[in-house]
Amino acid sequence: MAKTSYFNKGRGIMKIGIVGGGFMGLTLAHEIAKNNATVKVFESDRQMGGLSTHEDYGIFTWDRFYHVILPTDTFLIELIEDLGIGDQLCWRRSYTGYYVQKKFYSISSSKEFLLFPALNLWDKAMLAFTIFYGSKIKDWKKLEKITVKDWLIKMGGRRTYEKFWSPLLLAKLGENHEKVSAVFIWTYIKRLFKARSSAAQKEHMGYVQGGYKTVFDALQKSLGEKGSEVALNCTVEAIQPGPNGGVIITNNGVEEYFDKVIATTPLNVIEKIADPALFEASKTDVPVEYLGVICLVLVTETSLSPYYVLNIADKEIPFTGVIGMSSLVDPDQTAGKHLTYFPKYISGNDPFWKKSDEELKSIFLEGVARLYPDFDPKTIVSAHVHKAYRVQPLQVLNYSENIPEIKTKNKDFYVLNTSQFVNDTLNNNSVAGHVKRFMEGFKKELEQE
């Protein structure tokens, strides 16, 4: 029989359990702990962070996958400042490039954009119109009815789509981009193009010194100071309603009682561990399809790219973009070495998942050599392959109508995850905003107890 542990029972304050120690789970824990409550976060991995977690690259530690902060990421910046690490937030001029027709072009300023040879003057005018029009759209629901490809061609013409938008979509979504609705590019336009300062019309992006490890360390410290905790290497085996209210989480054969429990994991995980008495998910004809990523990360002695983002319009290259992290962060953050990410976004049934890390390294490095013929492999300090099978749900046509509707049957059980992003793209600012909106109602629940 399982032993029952009553976490913080008898302290006279609310006891909240959170399943999932990714960015959403920990941000949620931080916000709840600021109220009359203590929190315990259950994370199955050996370290916090989920998709935003860190990696030990041998001579320095940085993010496993690439992340960036925009000046308009108000929810994320507010969280960073609230954690007392706002002084470690750094802003830098960033550069964007395109690889098309076997040549590199910078489009990091209005002047460079006007000189971009892949588009003629009319194409550029249509592109500017698309961006302006897209940024003004309020009713995103109508964009769910048309694919992103068809909408962009309708707005700016086929040439503009093929020469500008298609490589960008390929870099973000891989070959799956033709399945996605126009909602995706609408959210992208609203977020990314706001990064240009109105005065200089130049893109600025930011990062926290030490990467997201700094953020998660600060979150853990803040939770500890408030009597809360993060339990690592803890795979939740069951979530059940308590006999007299509340919810019980079973981990390693131990039952722990909580006044309320919030699950932040994907729906398929919740369905495996949560008692059917807690929630009900509607069955849909269209299953939610997740996009995954395989990413080669190179630590090198010399710089590979002057651009933070290089969009690639060449299907012979096996990855969908190049992220030159060292073009953004100071060299002292990476021990004087250069850090470059080569992501490939793929669906769950892609044959690339079956390839070994060594096979993937070989394929990706051949692509690096093709893209950068002068690159000397001897300058590679280390190479790493990182994989994530569920990065984000694909916002296909009518996504908001086709995703399972989750109804909790128990007033003490909640579900909060990325499948609920029906009109937003996946990034940490969106996650922080999602948590803030959830807390508007949840604070009232805490006050009523």
Task: Quick: pLDDT tens for 35-88.
Answer: 989 999 999 999 999 999 999 999 999 999 999 998 889 999 999 999 999 999
Tens digit of each residue's pLDDT (9 = 90 or more) over 213-238:
999 999 999 999 999 999 999 999 99
Q: Which residue has the tokens 């002084």?
A: 87
> Which ranges constitute the DSSP H helices of 197-288?
212-225, 267-273
Q: Is the pTM of this model over 0.75?
A: yes
For position 203, what pLDDT does the model report? 67
Tens digit of each residue's pLDDT (9 = 90 or more) over 153-182:
999 999 888 888 887 787 777 778 888 899
Structural domain boundaries in the chain: 14-91+210-284+404-447, 110-197, 204-208+288-393
Q: Is the pLDDT of residue 10 over 50?
A: no
CA distances for 425 relative to 1, 281, 416, angstroms: 44, 23, 16
Torsion of CA 170, 173, 175, 180, to 10 degrees: -110
Q: Which of 56, 190, 179, 181 is nearest to 135 (CA)?
A: 190
The three-state (H, E, C) secondary structure of 154-189, written as one string:
HHHCHHHHHHHHHHHHHHHHHHHHHHEECHHHHHHH
CA distances for 221 relative to 36, 224, 233, angstroms: 18, 5, 18
**Amino acid at position 216, single letter:** F
Cα separation, 49 vs 144, whole angstroms: 31
Pick the CATH number of 204-208+288-393 from 3.20.20.70, 3.40.50.880, 3.90.660.20, 3.10.150.10: 3.90.660.20
Counting every residue, how long is the chain? 449
Architecture of the domain spanning 14-91+210-284+404-447 = 3-Layer(bba) Sandwich (3.50)
For position 12, what pLDDT does the model report? 64
* Domain 14-91+210-284+404-447 shares a fold with domain 204-208+288-393: no
**pLDDT, the chain, mean:** 88
CB 127 within 8 A of CB 155: no
Higher pLDDT, 354 or 113: 354
